[in-house]
Structure 1
């Protein structure tokens, strides 16, 4: 696998197609997203990585500063900008009740989500999927993006239910105004 990683070293999705850059997900305000498990651009602990690379797929602790007034729901998106594909890989999408003040470790688990958390479909399965980059590919950046929405995300008539929608389709189809957003990047390398 190390040879494959070296061969793909210059292929990376980049930030162009990151949900953060979608015009309809740009909000007028910013707030702060942080974690007790890693700092900005800090290394993600192995426990938060995929089981196939020795981790536990345990989502990290996340907390945020005061939300913009009128926040009806939070949308969390975690993307790998360094995957050797055309677009970032979506490692997690979740809807969060705005009364929730933080997420403890493991709160993004698809089978046992934390209170106020509704894990949605990611690139592979539901809930949080930890880092598992190709060995030797170099550092991968995992961007945790939190959006404060003015209206809850719901099932639209005739559309795929929110719980089954592909991440890119869900993100491109959001119509709720974004009141603010926050971002935190963690790094992992094998």
Structure 2
């Protein structure tokens, strides 16, 4: 969707960004005793680029994630992914999953794309475009580097979530129930005038050479 915006618009909005301080992670009360969850991915390192496979320029799958150090007294785990550099007052939500079992320590590639019907997805919430599941990174061309914050929270007991909880409901639950938190940041940038990333055709490569992978 946003890949079709002109690069000049991205440049015009380059300094308009929500900011890391507006993410859910920074609005969760860091009460005494709040633990630290370690979050990682087999697809990218912390503060490193997210492969195009997991963005709107590729297959748009949700990336694999893993975490550890969930407290023993947690009753569930929650994930929310936000774009801290969206040109909006608040970060754009790219995915919400609630009610993960406290002993679950990972989400496989594409887990946020599955549906409840096949039994592979936990309770999915609502992203900023009002759908559920994974909203792939899709920054405006020319807007610069975007930081996508994968935030994992351990929750204590409390009121059940609605059928498709949004950001405000997640914030309210975290205010009351958060026991531990952790985050992983992946980056993605679309240069001026870019649209879909296309890999070079193997047939056009010189004999004996290896086609370059898209950057």
TM-score tier after normalising by the smaller chain length = 0.7 to 0.9
| Alignment deviations for residues 99-143 of structure 1 (CA, whole Å, 9 cap, x no partner) | 322111001115267746221111121011110000010000000
Matched-pair contact (CA < 8 Å) for 2:37–2:152: no
1:3 match: secondary structure: helix
Unaligned runs of 5+ in 1: 156-161
Per the alignment, residue 16 of structure 2 pairs with: 11
Per the alignment, residue 163 of structure 2 pairs with: 163
- Mapped partners of 2:125, 2:28: distance in 1: 22
| Alignment deviations for residues 149-186 of structure 1 (CA, whole Å, 9 cap, x no partner) | 0126514xxxxxx2234x23212321542111110000
TM-score by length of 1: 0.87
Matched-pair contact (CA < 8 Å) for 1:72–1:152: no
Per the alignment, residue 184 of structure 1 pairs with: 184
Q: How does 1:16-55 map to 2 (within 5 A)?
A: 16-24=21-29, 28-50=34-56, 54-55=57-58
| Alignment deviations for residues 10-51 of structure 1 (CA, whole Å, 9 cap, x no partner) | 11110222101124476711020000000000100111002x
Alpha-carbon distance change, 104 to 77 in structure 1, aligned in 2, over 3 angstroms:
same
Matched-pair contact (CA < 8 Å) for 1:29–1:68: yes
- Mapped partners of 1:25, 1:59: distance in 2: 28
| 1:57 corresponds to 2:60 | yes
Q: Which has the larger radius of gyration?
A: 2
Matched-pair contact (CA < 8 Å) for 2:114–2:121: no
Alpha-carbon distance change, 143 to 37 in structure 1, aligned in 2, over 3 angstroms:
same
Matched-pair contact (CA < 8 Å) for 1:35–1:61: yes
| 1:68 corresponds to 2:42 | no
- Mapped partners of 1:148, 1:11: distance in 2: 32
Per the alignment, residue 82 of structure 2 pairs with: 79
Displacement of 1:144: 0.3
Report how many aligned residue pairs link the two structures: 180
